[in-house]
Amino acid sequence: MKAEGIDVVSFAAGEPDFNTPTPICDAAIEAIRAGFTKYTPSSGINDLKDAIVAKLDRENHVRATRDQIVVSCGAKHSIYNSMMALLDPGDEVILIAPYWMTYADQVRLADGIPVVVHTRAEDDFVPSLDDLKAAITPKTKAIIVNTPCNPTGAALPRQTVKDIAALALRHGFWVVSDEIYERLIYDTEHQSFAALGTDIAERTITVGGCSKTYSMTGWRIGFAAAPAAVAKAMSNFQDQVTSNPTSFAQKGAIAAFELPDMAVEAMRTEFQARRDLVLGLLRGIPGIKVREPKGAFYVFPDVGAFLGGEIDTDMELANYLLEEAKVATVPGTVFEGVGHLRMSYAASRENIEKGVARIADALKKLV
Ligand SMILES: Cc1ncc(COP(=O)(O)O)c(C=O)c1O
């Protein structure tokens, strides 16, 4: 529709709308000019691994060594490597719904079976311990935990992280901890699994990257920190599939991890202001129920009040909003979050105001 010149307001983006900070771009450009354009070691260059080790220590209180780090073409690639290294056919992987849909497909690609634990909006999308316990079987090989979460914006309380870690240790399964949104967190603190103790660190693959924190989605740099034997298996696998992540993007990533906190803080503060703006506007629409997200850049309103009549599902509602209001959202069903919409507030304040006003008008017609 945009290509046809139609003025669509998009709340669908999964990426920050800021430019990549200049020092990062400069580092990559300098690397290209200096001829740093050839293959590198498959699991990444040592300087970048050292920068990641330092970042994990400083920001996450996670102790790792160079041989535990595998740099990949985005966190998505790191999670795929984790699944391929960990899973045997028929192994089960627990997912906490609503979840980023890639997880289920990557589990299946590795011949595993996704086992879904549902959460409730009333619980701020935090899983109950009983529901998690009920999902564990002798076939459980791993759980994928994403905090802060895409699509709900939930950030797990420290106690929940501890409870999941205790289950993993008791039942001997792995935690794949997707921490890609760790720096975009509001009014609470991020808790890394691997920081809880050496026992759980030996059962955890911590996944992170540059995409969301530094607005580097197109650079394709992510990383995993895992026990050395697992890191070696992931690195061997990656070696035969993609070889190294792009050489000069790795140089940019070093500059990213060395960026002063202030630069990230400016983006985080702006996202928090936009979160508050979109929340206030959505709460002004009769029928919409929305929880306050604690992280990432998504709100996940419950639109159940508008379903069941002429428009039956969140999929149909998203289509209706696109056609009627010229506003793009993502239906919750995509994330196993039926009856919701995911709206990214990685959009200008002006577009947030314009887009939500259009949604309000279109929903009024349904009522
Ligand atoms: C929860 C989650 N994990 C991982 C990723 C992938 O990040 P990357 O760009 O580093 O592959 C995304 C991107 O949308 C995401 O939402």
Question: What pLDDT does 12 receive?
Answer: 96
Centroid of ligand 1 to alpha carbon of 364 (angstroms): 35
pLDDT per residue as tens digits for the range 269-301: 999 999 999 999 999 999 999 999 999 999 999
Task: For strands 298-299 and 341-344, give the pairing.
Answer: antiparallel
CA dist 356 and 345 (Å) reads 11
Residue nearest to atom 16 of ligand 1 (CA): 150
pLDDT per residue as tens digits for the range 26-40: 999 999 999 999 999
Ligand 1 atom nearest residue 78's Cα: 11
Ligand 1 atom nearest residue 146's Cα: 1
Residue 367 has pLDDT above 80, yes or no: no
Centroid of ligand 1 to alpha carbon of 310 (angstroms): 35
Question: What pLDDT does 150 receive?
Answer: 98
**What number is the average pLDDT over the span 214-231?**
98
Q: Is the peptide bond before 148 cis (omega within 30 degrees of 0)?
A: yes
pLDDT per residue as tens digits for the range 102-112: 999 999 999 99
Rounded percentage of the chain residues whose pLDDT exceeds 70: 100
DSSP letter for each residue of 192-205: -GGGS-HHHHTTEE
Residues with CB under 6 A from ligand 1: 14, 74-76, 100, 146, 150, 178, 180, 209, 211, 217, 222
Centroid of ligand 1 to alpha carbon of 215 (angstroms): 12
CB atoms closer than 10 angstroms to residue 204 = 26
Chain mean pLDDT for the chain: 97
**What number is the average pLDDT over the span 344-361?**
96
Q: Which two tokens stand for residue 166?
A: 């205790």
Name the pLDDT band for 309 (thresholds 50, 70, 90). confident
Could you give the angle at the alpha carbon of 46 between the alpha carbons of 40 and 47, nearest 5°? 110
Question: What pLDDT does 191 receive?
Answer: 97
DSSP letter for each residue of 214-254: TT-GGG--EEEE--HHHHHHHHHHHHHHT-SSPHHHHHHHH
Task: For strands 204-209 and 92-97, give the pairing.
Answer: unpaired
Residue 226 has pLDDT above 90, yes or no: yes
Name the pLDDT band for 221 (thresholds 50, 70, 90). very high
User: For residue 33, with 0-12 CB atoms within 10 Å meaning exposed, 13-18 middle and 19 or more buried, which class applies?
Assistant: exposed
Candidate from 150, 176, 205 with most ligand 1 atoms within 8 A of CB, to mutate:
150
**What number is the average pLDDT over the span 56-83?**
98
Residue nearest to atom 7 of ligand 1 (CA): 75
**What number is the average pLDDT over the span 12-38?**
96
Q: Which two tokens stand for residue 321?
A: 């909003």
Residue nearest to atom 13 of ligand 1 (CA): 14
Name the packing angle between helices 22-33 and 247-257 (round to 10°). Answer: 140
pLDDT per residue as tens digits for the range 235-254: 999 999 999 999 999 999 99
**What number is the average pLDDT over the span 54-69?**
98
Centroid of ligand 1 to alpha carbon of 75 (angstroms): 6
Candidate from 52, 183, 211 with most ligand 1 atoms within 8 A of CB, to mutate:
211
Centroid of ligand 1 to alpha carbon of 153 (angstroms): 13
**What number is the average pLDDT over the span 320-341?**
98
